[in-house]
Structure 1
Amino acid sequence: MYEVSHIYQYVHCKLVGPRTVSIKNWFDFLNLQDIVYGEWSVTANGRVIRAGRLPDLNLPPRGETNVVIPIKIVFG
């Protein structure tokens, strides 16, 4: 598990909208598509109700991008 946490310390994610996540690559020499992939899930009462995989994270060193989670938001 240490190896995973060591890699992920250079990938920062931040929610910037209801379905939008900002992803920052802090590596100096690595493109994220070569080492990681992203998954998302929506849970309610401890159960996963929707899940999926993010598009390829072709993010160059020190790059940043916004990714929209492909899910329809339903309230009610």
Structure 2
Amino acid sequence: MDVDRGTIAEIVVSVGAVGLFVAVLIGIGTTYNQGGLSADGGVVFVGAITAFIILMSAVGIGLAYYLNQE
């Protein structure tokens, strides 16, 4: 199976971004856990989801730009 360089770059960057998102969610869960997620934790959680959407959009645009340069 032959995988080109662009596909490997997409996989590595995407897995890294998702790994960062999971780490942030775990951090939020451990920081704002008071027998359940507190109200402040809920706001931070929604902010993390919003940031993840913006991050993945930026990653997609960046990868499209990078892969079209080759």
* TM score, norm. by length of structure 2: 0.23
Quick check: which one's strand share is greater? 1
Relative contact order, CA 8 A, sep 6+: which one is greater? 2
* TM score, norm. by length of structure 1: 0.22
Quick check: which one's helix share is greater? 2
